[in-house]
Amino acid sequence: MERRWDLTDGNKPLLAKEGVFYISYLDKGGTIKIKNMPEGLPFYWFNPKTGETITGGETTSEGVFTSPDNNPWVLIAGNKVFN
């Protein structure tokens, strides 16, 4: 994985192995757009304060993700993320 802020709008942190796995921390929730996002990867939201995990579905080529609320959330997208 590499730091890949170039795949976002530049002010959202992103670690990625492009095409395979993505992870971003949104300290106040919100929306992140990831460029060149492949379709069909499972994605999840993880709340680091509560430990709650929410299944988000599958990625689309639009690469737009909006957190469940304004709490801190970690976006995790990729194959075999959780068992």
Residue 83: its pLDDT value, please? 44
Q: Are 35 and 63 in contact (CB under 8 A)?
A: yes
**What's the pLDDT tens digit per position in 37-54?**
999 999 999 999 999 999
Residue 79: its pLDDT value, please? 80
Residue 71: its pLDDT value, please? 96
Architecture of domain 2-78: Sandwich (2.60)
Collapse the DSSP code of 73 into the 3-class scheme (helix H, G, I; strand E, B; otherwise coil) and give the result: strand
Residue 82: its pLDDT value, please? 47
User: CA angle at residue 18 from 32 to 48, to 5 degrees?
Assistant: 50
Q: Are 63 and 44 in contact (CB under 8 A)?
A: no
> Can you tell me which residue has the tokens 């469940």?
68
* Residue 11 in this model has a pLDDT that exceeds 80: no
78, 58, 71: which is closest to 30 by C-alpha?
71
